[in-house]
Amino acid sequence: MLCSRLHLGCLFCVAALAPMPASTQTASDKAGILHTVDLQYEYFEQRNAAAYGGLFTTGGTFISMPGLKIDGRRDIIDANAKFFVYMNVDKTRML
């Protein structure tokens, strides 16, 4: 699923998959990161702000494509819920 979205998927996980010493990042770590990215796509497509925000820790930070910074899971959920109400579904569909 991620491979078909590689052009966008890299935007979400580039920091998580940045070069690290081989002993630091396991195959399980990488699989977990890729699974989380797949869930991001799934929840975004569903316009499910609670599930999308639930992927973040309580003190997590979300930075949108234009650079808007949102701190904390609750604020991430609230901001995405508002975004999903106003967004153009046809222009933001994740294929």
Q: Which domains does the chain have, with CATH numbers?
A: 3-16+26-91 (3.10.450.50)
The string over 69-81, giving b where at least 16 C-beta atoms fall within 10 Å of a residue's C-beta and e elsewhere, is ebebbeebbebbe
Q: Is residue 48's pLDDT more than 80?
A: yes
Encoded tokens for 6: 């590689």
Q: If you average pLDDT over residues 8-31, what whole number do you get? A: 64
Encoded tokens for 74: 């609750």
Please state, in angstroms and rounded to a whole number, the distance separating the CA atoms of residues 50 and 37: 16
DSSP 60: -
The pLDDT score that the predictor gives to residue 12 is 45
pTM, two decimals, is: 0.66
Closest listed residue to residue 95, CA positions, set 9, 17, 14, 30: 9
Residue 58 backbone dihedrals phi, psi, to 5 degrees: -60, -30
Out of 13-22, 30-39, 77-86, pick the least confident.
13-22
pLDDT of 52-87, one tens digit each?
999 999 999 999 888 999 999 999 999 999 999 888
Encoded tokens for 64: 């949108």
